[in-house]
Amino acid sequence: MFCRISTYEILPDAEDEVLAAAEDMRAEMRAIPGVKAINSVRLAEGRYMSIAYYESRDAMEAAAGKSREIFGRLAPHIKLDTLEQQSGEVTWQL
């Protein structure tokens, strides 16, 4: 299993809008080939991390364009200049 970890900041008072937009895209994200799960974590006020889990590296790489598209649609609510993404293989899980 592989994952893409995205960290970013949202605009002040935009949490409700970001969560509503994510909810609106739930079925679309679930339909991404090879996606196993996607979680969002509030790290601090206005600072978030999203973790997307994929069944393989190929699936993760194939979904990269969709990931960019989704973050692009969130652009009215997030600070795109703070978006950082990393990816790697899951080496242990409970």
Stated as kind and residue range, the H or E segment containing 17 is: helix 15-24
- Residue 23 — pLDDT band, cuts 50, 70, 90? very high
The answer, yes or no, to whether residue 7 has pLDDT greater than 90, is yes
- pLDDT at position 71 is 86
Mean pLDDT of 38-42: 96
3-state SS, residue 93:
coil
Find out if CATH 3.55.10.10 is the number for domain 2-85. no
Residue 70: enclosing H or E segment and its boundaries?
helix 64-73
pTM to 2 decimal places: 0.90
pLDDT in tens, 44-91: 999 999 999 999 999 999 999 998 898 889 989 999 899 999 999 999
